[in-house]
């Protein structure tokens, strides 16, 4: 398996991690949001009926897995269990990955404890934690072969899990077409809060398979009884981040995930047993080995160019709205639907790290500060950054030394855990996300503003999802410790700036974004 195949495999596994984390951690609702709904949510919790809901998981129309949500009442609250499993074919081999989360809620639906596990044959991940009052989330991240990473994250107000977040829209009042609900959320990959606007876009009736019967002739389960349910289409701002149909009880009827993955509610036998039957039949015939889910999600450019040392690249982007993406600025120029990317020019000499003005520090406060999972103030990170850079104080030369060290010191291996700078430093391996996370932490540790960029990398005639750092050297300069480029070439198309959780937004381009190569120059 070459490094590009590993990166594609990593991207799809990250989707499973995202599902696990979003199910096991929290949507944070401000106290003001709860003030006019607290009583109604408490009453709604009393009306919740224990039971399970089942889903078939499809990727671009192909059945690849199974998912379920189970709600149960226990002595001290309400327990919600989410499960997700899928078989992902890559390079002639089927890789199974699964995610499971168990959360305990209070009688008023506030999160109390969580236990999230995401597993694949390569690397399992487990996160356990609890909410202290309404202000702090305490969690421990466990990855085999690495020390347990325990952190505390500030939160604001009572907490709902995403599985029950539709209750905030569906209960208390009949959802109204066109109404927008602003919900402060917690990004589980970045451990940061951000506001999400959820808008009710439409209302419709769905026919849901309620029970099944086994067809002995076809040897598959078929629908026996159906139920008609009314559901509302709730989407995130700009159609990004959240795309689901929920019924009047807040249960998901249909959900569209990233990379063309869809969850459809149906009877257990239709969701699980038929997936198992299809999986076993495909394995017996070898059909699954001929299907490569990652090539089907690549965005073809229609032209074959080298991925290395491109100085100039011009492409036309169509099929999706480009609003909200960080496409323009710096080395990227967007005119209409045409994007021009030029390789950054490094200054001959940059600022000295010892002579930065207070205005400089204030301007780049966010790009110099530590973050959860990006521990630039940890003693191990600081000591390693100083050891790498030595007495050098020119910011450009320091940034280059860090780029060289990260590229040379990290084994280029696929990993499936949420990137954690401190754990990457200990483990010394990973893909583009691990390289980027560690580099940004090291750069901030020595006083260079650094941030994470995510977008597309042009490789062998196709565009694949990629992450790389940007550092401030009198301008934002992209560098790539994964490929060993300083600066990064024009084959890097930046779509978003921020943490790794932004990758979910990029994956929603799959199947919609069309890229036409206009020209490219070495």
CATH number, domain of 456, equals 3.10.620.30
pLDDT score recorded for residue 130 = 82
Res 502 pLDDT > 90? no
Spell out the residues 6+ positions from residue 178 whose beta carbon is closer than 8 angstroms to its own.
199, 200, 201
Helices (runs of H) and strands (runs of E) counted in the chain: 13, 27
Q: How confident is the model at residue 128 (pLDDT cuts 50, 70, 90)?
A: confident
Work out the average pLDDT over 254-283: 84
Res 193 pLDDT > 60? no
Give the total number of structural domains in the chain.
Answer: 2
Q: Which residue has the higher pLDDT, 513 or 164?
A: 513
- Give the residue from 290, 313, 345 where a domain finishes: 290
- The pTM assigned to this predicted structure is 0.66
Residues 263 and 311 occupy one common structural domain: no
Cα–Cα distance for residue pair 428/412, rounded to 1 Å: 9
Residues 426 and 511 occupy one common structural domain: yes
For residue 46, list its beta bridge partners: none
CA atoms within 13 A on the CB side of 156: 14
Helix (H) or strand (E) holding 45: helix 38-47
Residues 336 and 202 occupy one common structural domain: no
Tokens standing for 319? Answer: 């099929």
Residues 273 and 316 occupy one common structural domain: no
Spell out the residues 6+ positions from residue 123 whose beta carbon is closer than 8 angstroms to its own.
143, 144, 415, 416, 417
Work out the average pLDDT over 420-427: 89
Tokens standing for 392? Answer: 């050098």
- The reply to whether 232 falls in a domain is yes
- Give the residue from 290, 312, 330 where a domain finishes: 290
Cα–Cα distance for residue pair 191/372, rounded to 1 Å: 6
- The highest-confidence range among 59-73, 85-99, 297-311, by mean pLDDT, is 59-73
Residues 344 and 261 occupy one common structural domain: no
- The reply to whether 18 falls in a domain is yes
Residues 92 and 180 occupy one common structural domain: yes
Residues 320 and 177 occupy one common structural domain: no
- Give the residue from 290, 320, 341 where a domain finishes: 290
- The reply to whether 295 falls in a domain is no
pLDDT digits over 205-246, tens only? Answer: 999 998 999 999 988 999 999 999 999 988 876 555 578 888
- The reply to whether 140 falls in a domain is yes
Q: Which domain holds residue 163?
A: 3-290
Residues 133 and 268 occupy one common structural domain: yes
Res 493 pLDDT > 90? yes
Q: Which residue has the higher pLDDT, 83 or 472?
A: 472
Cα–Cα distance for residue pair 124/118, rounded to 1 Å: 6
């Amino acid at each position: 398996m070459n490094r590009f195949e590993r990166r594609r495999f990593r991207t799809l596994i990250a989707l499973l991690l995202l599902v696990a984390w979003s199910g096991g951690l929290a949507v944070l609702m401000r106290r003001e949001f709860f003030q006019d709904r607290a009583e109604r949510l408490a009453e709604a919790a009393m009306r919740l009926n224990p039971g399970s809901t089942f889903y078939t998981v499809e990727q671009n129309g192909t059945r690849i897995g199974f998912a379920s949500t189970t709600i149960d009442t226990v002595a001290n609250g309400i327990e919600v269990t989410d499960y997700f499993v899928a078989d992902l074919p890559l390079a002639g081999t089927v890789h199974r990955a699964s995610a499971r989360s168990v959360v305990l809620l209070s009688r008023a639906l506030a999160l109390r404890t969580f236990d999230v596990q995401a597993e694949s044959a390569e690397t399992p991940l487990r996160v356990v934690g609890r909410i202290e009052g309404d202000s702090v989330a305490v969690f421990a991240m466990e990855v085999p072969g690495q020390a347990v990473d325990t952190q505390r994250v500030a939160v604001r107000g009572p907490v709902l899990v995403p599985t029950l977040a539709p209750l905030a829209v569906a209960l208390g009042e009949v959802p109204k077409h066109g109404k927008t609900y602003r919900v402060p959320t917690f990004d589980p990959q970045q451990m940061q809060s951000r506001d999400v606007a959820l808008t009710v876009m439409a209302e419709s009736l769905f026919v849901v398979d309620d029970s099944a019967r086994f067809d002995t002739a076809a040897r598959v389960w078929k629908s026996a009884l159906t139920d008609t349910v009314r559901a509302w289409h709730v989407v995130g701002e700009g159609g990004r981040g959240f795309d689901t149909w929920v019924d009047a009880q807040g249960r998901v009827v249909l959900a569209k995930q990233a990379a063309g993955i869809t969850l459809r509610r149906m009877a257990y036998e239709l969701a699980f047993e038929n997936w198992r039957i299809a999986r076993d039949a495909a394995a017996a015939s070898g059909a699954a080995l001929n299907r490569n889910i990652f090539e089907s999600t690549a965005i073809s450019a229609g032209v074959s160019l080298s991925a290395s040392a491109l100085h100039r690249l011009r492409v036309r982007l169509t099929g999706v709205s480009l609003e909200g993406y960080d496409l323009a600025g710096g080395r990227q120029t967007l005119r209409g639907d045409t994007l021009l990317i030029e390789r950054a020019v490094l200054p001959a000499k940059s600022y000295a790290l010892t002579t930065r003005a207070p205005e400089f520090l204030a301007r780049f406060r966010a790009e110099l500060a530590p973050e959860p999972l990006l521990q630039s103030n940890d003693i191990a990170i600081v000591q390693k950054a100083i050891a790498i850079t030595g007495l050098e104080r020119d910011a450009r030369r320091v940034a280059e030394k860090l780029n060289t060290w990260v590229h040379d010191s990290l084994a280029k291996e696929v990993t499936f855990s949420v990137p954690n700078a401190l754990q990457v430093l200990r483990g010394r391996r990973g893909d583009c996300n691990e390289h980027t996370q560690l580099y940004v932490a090291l750069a901030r540790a020595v006083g260079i503003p650094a941030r994470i960029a995510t977008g597309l990398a042009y490789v062998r005639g196709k565009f694949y999802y990629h992450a790389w750092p940007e550092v401030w050297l009198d301008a934002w300069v992209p560098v790539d410790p994964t490929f060993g480029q300083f600066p990064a070439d024009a084959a890097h198309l930046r779509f978003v700036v921020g943490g790794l959780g932004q990758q979910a937004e990029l994956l929603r381009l799959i199947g919609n974004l069309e890229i036409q190569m206009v020209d490219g120059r070495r």
